[in-house]
Every structure is written in structure tokens, then in C-alpha cells.
């Protein structure tokens, strides 16, 4: 399975790198890959959120019997495992390929950073939807955009930390 992910990651990286040359002056290839793959995952997150909120939950509260969850928060909980895995795989096999950390360590660290981002996203949703009465899908876009910056630096310096290059 790992070889399949590596092959797919290499193919995605080749496509992204094809569009990199005009941006070479402004950012590293790694940051460009992060931006493209992260943006693709973020757009996937937004579409998935909208689809679940609109067509699955149909804007209705989710009654689990012992607790009732608002539709915008329930949607967030449903999309979590899907977006978590797609993001991890893109970052591991497309963006941060130089890391020598074992996969399970990366996954655990990615989970920690992801959970921090969830707290930021959750607080943003509660504030924007419940506090400012902004439509949930738009609130999700705003809140998740904030997490992009937290995520990049955390993933680079912690989750997928690459070995230091020795300069002679």
C-alpha cells in the first residue's frame, strides 16, 4: 500500500512541479507544493462540508439520543476523518517527502496538529455562526483559512521534521 501512495504522490508532485517555475523567485518548491496540495485538500474540505450539511443533514440538528448536535458542528465531526486522512497522505507523500520519521510517528504528530486546528476551527465556527450569525459554509471557509498558517509551520517544524542538512 505504501508503494501505491508513494507512486501517486510522485505523480501529483510532478504535476504540481510543472507549474512551479513562475513562482521560483517567490517561494520554495516545498512551500509551493504545500500551498497547492493544501489548497486542494481545503477545497475538498469545503465541498465535503457543504455536501454533508446540505444533502445529508439537510440543515437539521443531529439527534443521537443522548445528545443533540447542531448541524454545522455535526457536519464538522462527520467530515473530520475523511479530511484528516486525505490531508495526511498529501502532506506525507507530496509535500514533506524528506522526513525520515517513521510513518506512525508522523501520523501521531499530524493528529496533534490537526486537533489544535480543530480547536481553532471549532472556536471559529461557534463564534462566526452562533455569535455573528454568518452562514455555516462561509464560516467554515473563514475558520479553516486561519488554520492554514498554523498548520504549515507546525507540519514543517514538527510533524514532518526533516533531518538537518550538513554543509561543508
Residues of the chain below pLDDT 70: 166-168
Q: What is the pLDDT of residue 165?
A: 72
Q: What is the pLDDT of residue 150?
A: 84
Q: What is the pLDDT of residue 147?
A: 83
Q: What is the pLDDT of residue 135?
A: 92
Mean residue pLDDT across the chain: 92
| CA pair distance 101, 49, nearest whole angstrom | 32
Amino acid at each position: 500500500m505504501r508503494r501505491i501512495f508513494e507512486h501517486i504522490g510522485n505523480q501529483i508532485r510532478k504535476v504540481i512541479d510543472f507549474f512551479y517555475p513562475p513562482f521560483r523567485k517567490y517561494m520554495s518548491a516545498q512551500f509551493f507544493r504545500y500551498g497547492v496540495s493544501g489548497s486542494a485538500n481545503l477545497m475538498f474540505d469545503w465541498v465535503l462540508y457543504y455536501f454533508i450539511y446540505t444533502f445529508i443533514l439537510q440543515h437539521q440538528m443531529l439527534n443521537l439520543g443522548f445528545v443533540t448536535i447542531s448541524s454545522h458542528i455535526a457536519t464538522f465531526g462527520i467530515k473530520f476523518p475523511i479530511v484528516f486522512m486525505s490531508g495526511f497522505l498529501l502532506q506525507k507523500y507530496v509535500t514533506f517527502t524528506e522526513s525520515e520519521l517513521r510513518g506512525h510517528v508522523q501520523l501521531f504528530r499530524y493528529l496533534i496538529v490537526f486537533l489544535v486546528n480543530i480547536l481553532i476551527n471549532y472556536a471559529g465556527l461557534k463564534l462566526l455562526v452562533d455569535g455573528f450569525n454568518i452562514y455555516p459554509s462561509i464560516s467554515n471557509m473563514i475558520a479553516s483559512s486561519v488554520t492554514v498558517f498554523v498548520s504549515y509551520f507546525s507540519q514543517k517544524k514538527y510533524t514532518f521534521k526533516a533531518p538537518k542538512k550538513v554543509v561543508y
